[in-house]
Structure 1
């Protein structure tokens, strides 16, 4: 036995320390490594560059609605694959994978509760569920949210995050645009407000329908908002467009938004808006 082997064998064995995979978060904007606890305490906003990361419905409900006040609404059942669509995978397999990953039935969830003491029904689209795409499930959930708001005499607030209509449902997905528009008209007929908060990204058929029909239009900082992508528009009109022309701040400057609100300020802002728009109805 060589001296090197004797020395090595004399060194006490120390088991390798296991580090949890979810201990750190890397900001998608600036690349800063953030301790996960600090990141979550900061509402999933980067403390260095203020980048607002995408979050799912449950995290949003916990941030916006008063603690202990809310309950999720049942999601109406719709046909999972009405067109028997298949590309590189079957559509039903894509839906199953999205449900397994997110734990959600479809890309839009609703909850009923209070914001700063004011009754409200809140809908949240999850971009993690097939890009937040709008299909039969999203249309049915939107209608359910609006009709619950009418029944509870409360405003309906929608947090949009979508890549547009769901291509696997073809014309049926596009039919959700007029369907949601009619639902908003029902809400207005009942004398109740409709408030939109656009988050990153809000694009395509969602932008062309219910995302732009709010009585008040809000957005989170630097959210991407538009219909077609910048390169598609530039190749169509053959002109160079301004940098950041589809970002929330640019749209605010050009009159398409009423305000851009930091995630930390959203509960107070929404509570104030509800108070202005339907104080008597909510507290009746």
Structure 2
């Protein structure tokens, strides 16, 4: 053994600490590196540029309901893979992977709770579950949320986030558009408000149905909202679209939204709206 090996072996090396790979979040808008803990405590909003990141049902419910207390509503059972669809993978395999990744049964989750003391039924679409796509399960969950609101004499609030209809369910997915529209009409006949909060992104068949039928239309800053993609529209009309087209602020300026509300202010905003539109839920 050489003298160098002897010296090296005599040095008490400190064992390398294992550090998690997800300590930091890089903002996709401004590139700022933010501690994950700080980012999550800020409701996934960049502290530098105010970019609103995408969040799932659990984080949304925790921030929205009083004390983070709420009761998740059971997801209705629907027939899975009715068309026996297969592309590069079987549809059942994609569902299994999405459920493992998110811990959710499908892309729309409902919960019941109170927002500043006011009863509300809230539905949240999760873009992490197959792009928040609208299929039989999403349609059934939406109708179930409306029925729960009617039974509880409370408003129904939906947070939309979707790439559109779920292609693996074909025409059955598109049938959820009229189905949810009828449910909204039942809610209005019961004299209860329907409030929509559009988050990034809200597109396709969801935009063409229940996302645009609210008594009040809200959106988070910078949310992408539209039916077809910008490139598709430009190639169809053969014109260049203006900057910020299909973003929440552009839609607000052109009369398609009532307000663009910062995530930190949503809870107070929704409580105010519920108080105006459905004061009886305070009981």
Paired position in structure 2 for 1:186: 186
Paired position in structure 2 for 1:34: 34
Paired position in structure 2 for 1:6: 6
Paired position in structure 2 for 1:137: 137
Paired position in structure 1 for 2:243: 243
Q: Per-residue CA shift, 1:164-221, capped at 9, x if unaligned?
A: 0000000000000000000000000000000000000000000000000000000000
C-alpha RMSD over aligned residues = 1.0
Paired position in structure 2 for 1:273: 273
Q: Name the CA distance, whole Å, in 1 between partners of 2:261 and 2:68.
A: 24
Residues 138/222 of structure 1: CA separation in 2 closer, same or farther (3 Å cut): same
Paired position in structure 1 for 2:121: 121
Q: Name the CA distance, whole Å, in 1 between partners of 2:105 and 2:12.
A: 52
Superposed displacement of residue 69, structure 1? 3.8
Superposed displacement of residue 13, structure 1? 1.6
Paired position in structure 2 for 1:223: 223
Unaligned runs of 5+ in 1: none
Q: Name the CA distance, whole Å, in 2 between partners of 1:69 and 1:56.
A: 16
Paired position in structure 1 for 2:282: 283
- C-alpha contact (below 8 Å) 2:56/2:124 kept by paired residues: yes
- C-alpha contact (below 8 Å) 2:62/2:68 kept by paired residues: no
Where in structure 2 are the equivalents of 1:10-159 lying within 5 Å? 10-67=10-67, 69-159=69-159
Q: Name the CA distance, whole Å, in 2 between partners of 1:41 and 1:16.
A: 29
Q: Per-residue CA shift, 1:221-266, capped at 9, x if unaligned?
A: 0000000000000000000001111100011111100000000000
Q: Name the CA distance, whole Å, in 2 between partners of 1:17 and 1:48.
A: 30
Unaligned runs of 5+ in 2: none
Moved over 4 A (4+): none
- C-alpha contact (below 8 Å) 2:196/2:211 kept by paired residues: yes
